[in-house]
Structure 1
């Protein structure tokens, strides 16, 4: 089965989504411009939405605004870190030009400084963009204040020396150097208690680092600090992996809270629940390298645009839609939303983006859209060893609220093949790359 076939199979597993051929437009840079639909963010959610809008209506004026000069992927970055399946850096990084040329939407490479939702104007260093409809696909930010309060210096030091690795690009490059140069000792991964981007990512990363250590005969341990009783995603399968495949390398510390870190002393301070004494004990954990993931929150552009959020920082939506509760013509897709129990994953971003595109095209035509009938779906793959992976599929139903059912696969080589096929199929689809 070729790569694209796996992607199509994953989409069918996740949800029934429209797929037809698209036409294309040109790259745009202008001091001031107008567009029918502005999409802030050129990640999986933004590109999927732009592609689908132009697929459904080639005549729509769609403009993507993105600050990065190239597309960089988080999915499959852990496989690259662990050096499995011959994944290269080029497999994670692509130019935007193929997608622009194939799907013919406008593209402005610029940093957004302000959004006026009432006047419907986006401000960038290259000029302003006036829009009729706005789609926010801006992703996450890190909330280091939750970890270090007002210690800004410690927060910056932590971000540089112990990168979370949930944003693509430089964080992954730093992690790669940390792993390649590792000589031995403890490699610590700390997970936040609140919702964060891609729930299985830190557990998969632990498995990939352990795989690298094993393959290169490095005398190291990967220690996972998790405030939960069990892993946040695929708990049975990851627990099985920790206890069987990587039992000599991975140490999973459940019910354990990150408290602080001292980079000079190379010590992490934690509180771990003792099942015998039934109290939390303070422990000093020595480390050589660490990836400390702070609590996540919606990208700061959400608040800058005056869009309402929950206390935890995630955007409020007008159920059952993806429209912001703050403005009828603003949609929020991808990792920033906090309304529905949808995992912050690439497949979910793609799935929700397709639904929003269909709803918006119908809306422009003056037609309705049944959000309670057409719900997104999700499939998420995690590599756990050199040639094995596990997946989970989520299906959703809307009654009084969104309800979810899930199916987890076995840990096997077929799922690893499916993971690779899904990833490259999705990349080819949204970036217009022919394999």
Structure 2
């Protein structure tokens, strides 16, 4: 008799952690076949994409190869993209795989499942704003982050020749004052200092201008007002020009136009305002909300099909009265932990447990300069406010916790040691 097959679509923070857990609890003992499907060959932790975009993070050092990881953790990896679902036959349809030149490497395929987990993350929401798709970078994937880094370095290089300059200052416009926009702003200032120090460009800290634009009345609207005020003060002290209560009505090649008609001249534009689940999720025949998220029960099962689960940013999971789980990395990790138990309960015909989100606090990195946030939050407490060196250490520990969930303690310890050594052996940023 064939063992049941659990297919996880999406190898992000939650999907990879889930595949690792299920590999050890079910795959190793041959109680189920665990298959992880992702369109990429490697995994990069999404909260680090702003560092990859500025070259501070070297993806070749920090990415996880799915094939190598799967062989060590008792699951099977398949490369591919989901483009269809047949719930009656319990089959997912996979799009053809093409190389960089558009040549087909693998044809369209089908993959059967007994239980399906959708963990496809989120993408930026441009809200239909004119010109954004054509004239703004997005930082939703490693490929987009690397594309921005290439464009950033080329723009910095152009400023070495005054004849090629668009403005008197190299100006970068970032739309969206959430965590990605805030962290990218600080990293860009640090990147300009490093590129100047390495002799890549004549641009220095005084020659770069970063505009951070947020439509809400304050930065980081999802976090506490104290964190928001502290972050804005820190960014402004670094030289970032912060615009709050400012909506963008149009993006053009070298400028952003606000709702009030103000024109901000720019050399590079980044859109980091709002998120939504990938649009194709609305075409699978499952109930979704206005942000394309799959509607699930608190057990993380789709409201339409008990054999389909969704987690992370692509799931709309109820949490109390008129509340839903926020799209955050810590939520995805918590859901992976519960879902591993619930899928095991499915196999043993036991009742499933409800997911209850625990907010452990939030931390925002301001490059090498600082970090701000709070920890140990609860329904009865606002938590412990942190900034400075202690907050930086706490922020760094978040990535180590992610590594711990997918690698285990020995390999995470070795990775920490390698990172420490590379601080002395390699440049602080990737220069190509």
TM range, normalised to the smaller chain? Answer: 0.7 to 0.9
Residue 262 of structure 2: SS of its match in structure 1?
Answer: strand
User: Which blocks of at least 5 consecutive residues in structure 2 are unaligned?
Assistant: 97-107, 160-168, 197-203, 319-323, 415-432
Distance 1:357 1:260 in 2: 44
Query: How far has the Cα of 1:335 moved from its partner?
Result: 0.9
Distance 1:262 1:228 in 2: 22
Q: Which residue of 2 aligns with 1:360?
A: 343
Query: How far has the Cα of 1:134 moved from its partner?
Result: 0.8
Q: Which residue of 2 aligns with 1:169?
A: 142
Q: Deviations over 1:136-194 (max 9, x none)?
A: 0012244546213xxxxx45423xxx2121x22121112223443434332111128xx
Q: Which residue of 1 aligns with 2:316?
A: 338
Pick one of 31, 37, 40 that aligns with 1:65. 37
TM-score (ref. length: structure 2): 0.76
Query: How far has the Cα of 1:35 moved from its partner?
Result: 5.0
Instruction: Assess if the C-alpha contact under 8 Å between 1:389 and 1:419 holds in 2.
Output: yes
User: Is 1:129 aligned to residue 111 of structure 2?
Assistant: yes
Q: 1:390 to 1:143 in 2, by over 3 A?
A: closer
Q: 1:299 to 1:106 in 2, by over 3 A?
A: same
Q: 1:141 to 1:212 in 2, by over 3 A?
A: closer
User: Is 1:239 aligned to residue 229 of structure 2?
Assistant: yes
Distance 1:142 1:345 in 2: 14
Pick one of 191, 201, 209 that aligns with 2:180. 201
Pick one of 81, 85, 92 that aligns with 1:115. 85
Q: Deviations over 1:27-86 (max 9, x none)?
A: xxxxxx9952111111111111111223333322111111111113322233445566xx
Q: Which residue of 1 aligns with 2:216?
A: 228
CA RMSD of aligned residues (A): 2.8
Instruction: Flag as ranges the 4+ runs of structure 1 deviating above 6 A.
Output: none
Residue 430 of structure 1: SS of its match in structure 2?
Answer: helix
Pick one of 36, 47, 68 that aligns with 2:16. 47
User: Is 1:323 aligned to residue 292 of structure 2?
Assistant: no
Q: 1:65 to 1:82 in 2, by over 3 A?
A: closer
Query: How far has the Cα of 1:295 moved from its partner?
Result: 4.5
Distance 2:174 2:407 in 1: 32
Pick one of 129, 134, 146 that aligns with 1:157. 134
User: Is 1:146 aligned to residue 122 of structure 2?
Assistant: no
Q: Which residue of 2 aligns with 1:15?
A: none
Q: Deviations over 1:271-314 (max 9, x none)?
A: 2xxxxxxxxx3211111111023653212342232111112322
User: Is 1:391 aligned to residue 373 of structure 2?
Assistant: yes
Distance 1:34 1:268 in 2: 56
Distance 1:76 1:290 in 2: 19
Query: How far has the Cα of 1:258 moved from its partner?
Result: 0.7
TM-score (ref. length: structure 1): 0.76
Distance 2:285 2:76 in 1: 25
Aligned length: 367
Q: Deviations over 1:376-434 (max 9, x none)?
A: 555543211415222344767xxxxxx79653632111221232232134135315655
Q: Deviations over 1:200-232 (max 9, x none)?
A: 121111122233345642312211111101122
Query: How far has the Cα of 1:357 moved from its partner?
Result: 1.2
Q: Which residue of 2 aligns with 1:18?
A: none
Q: 1:107 to 1:82 in 2, by over 3 A?
A: closer
Query: How far has the Cα of 1:243 moved from its partner?
Result: 2.0
Q: Once structures 1 and 2 are overlaid, which stretch shifts more, 91-100 or 385-394?
A: 385-394
Q: Which has the higher helix share?
A: 2
Distance 1:211 1:99 in 2: 33
Q: Which residue of 2 aligns with 1:369?
A: 352
User: Which blocks of at least 5 consecutive residues in structure 1 are unaligned?
Assistant: 1-32, 149-153, 193-198, 272-280, 397-402
Instruction: Assess if the C-alpha contact under 8 Å between 1:164 and 1:294 holds in 2.
Output: no
